[in-house]
Structure 1
Amino acid sequence: MITTNVEIFVRQVKKRSRENAESLSLLYERRLHANVVPILRQELDSLVRVIFLLSQADRSYRSALITDSVNGRPWTKKGAKGRIRDREMVELSKYLFNWARNVYQFGCAFIHLSNFHDYATRDPMESVSKADRATIASYLNYYHSVELGPNVTFSEILPLLPKVFEKISSNLDCYLKVLEEDGDLS
């Protein structure tokens, strides 16, 4: 049986997602919250990449990106020199998921050594702008049926992190199916 690059790509994304789910569960259970958020960010990274692929109407370019991913090469811009930056993919995905940018930025603060790692003493949400805090609370309220105020705290968000992961992961599964069927975002 011949395995296509799309099948390999989907397999590696699903494997990463399964490991992310298991890692998040273990880390959350052990209350290692500074490592839970980067797992959310990794899952979002997969979702953002799949959305980016689905946004490419030129199937030969999409195929080239998948081939690059399967072979461990960075994605490059179509017809131009330079890598496709994560920020560009996140900007594209925010048109489907407004919350993507917030999760991505929040996750980055936990990936890089920052004041967010002192979350047991200082609330990381105090470092987030008031507008972004209110936006985060609004998204959590809408997607997870909670009632958080605009000055949401990290301790209020913590119980929701597994649900946020599940939401990202279920969206990823749906978009992977579309990719496997050679569909697009329309």
Structure 2
Amino acid sequence: MTNLEEEFAFFAKATEERSAEHRKAITTAVGNKWWSIAGSLLRMELDSLIRVSYLRAHSNDRAQILFACAAGLGFGIPKQDGAGIKRIPDSVMVPRGGWEQRVYDFGNRFVHLTEAHNYTERDPFLALPEVDRKAIVEYLDHYHGGKSGVKDLSVDSPFDDVAQYAPHVLAKIAANIRHGVEALGREITLKRD
């Protein structure tokens, strides 16, 4: 096994362990209406997905990034002088205009202290512009409509109804991570051969 394969194995195990933890925690968070925690969990799961996707799309930087991750330096490219890394910002990794950006932006409202934390006074979903609510409802209905425990949504649905989709969204992101990690592993193995 090469260093790259060992570093990839470390990264793959870290993403799976993190995802498994999130899948367990999301049910408790939603069941208790801990919306800040549920939103943060979705955002962290997406964080793993965008990193896996970035590694797949940037094969020239892959070995350096995996080395930095395994060495505990973070997700970035080691600096030439050996003093740390040049971090790759999320703004570079999050695809613009798609569902990933919507989950990222909405999840950030719960990761960072914002008006969304005051959800008992102001509904964070209804506070979004109608065009954003419409896009979110269309996405959720398309991918998760009809699943147990969720109601049909409209642009006027309360946040409590929208939040019931969180475990399903997290499971979908987790499946995308697994698929991406498996594909990344095949790419790394093929490069060796």
TM bin, normalised by shorter chain, reads 0.7 to 0.9
Q: Please give the secondary structure, in 2, of the residue aligned with 1:72.
A: coil
Aligned to 1:49: 51
Aligned to 2:37: 35
Q: Give the C-alpha shift of residue 151 in structure 1.
A: 3.6
1:18-48, CA deviations, whole angstroms, 9 ceiling, x for partnerless residues?
Answer: 1111121222222212211100100000001
Equivalent AA in structure 2 for residue 163 of structure 1: H
**Residue 186 of structure 2 corresponds to residue 177 of structure 1:** no
Instruction: State the distance in 2 between where 1:78 and 1:53 align.
Output: 15
Equivalent AA in structure 1 for residue 25 of structure 2: S
Instruction: State the distance in 2 between where 1:89 and 1:167 align.
Output: 19
Greater C-alpha radius of gyration: 2
| Residues 50, 94 of structure 2: 8 Å contact kept | yes
Aligned to 1:8: 10
How many positions carry a matched residue from both structures? 177
Scaled by the length of structure 1, the TM-score of the pair is 0.85
Scaled by the length of structure 2, the TM-score of the pair is 0.82
Change beyond 3 A, Cα 1:134–1:79: farther
Aligned to 2:103: 103
Q: Percent identity?
A: 28
Q: Give the C-alpha shift of residue 54 in structure 1.
A: 0.4
Instruction: State the distance in 2 between where 1:119 and 1:86 align.
Output: 26
Root-mean-square deviation (Å): 2.5
Q: Which runs of 4+ in 1 moved over 6 A?
A: 77-81
Aligned to 1:63: 63
Q: Please give the secondary structure, in 1, of the residue aligned with 2:126.
A: helix
- What are the ranges of 5 or more consecutive residues in structure 1 without an aligned counterpart? none
1:69-125, CA deviations, whole angstroms, 9 ceiling, x for partnerless residues?
Answer: 12222444699995311111002xx58xx2000000111000111111111231002
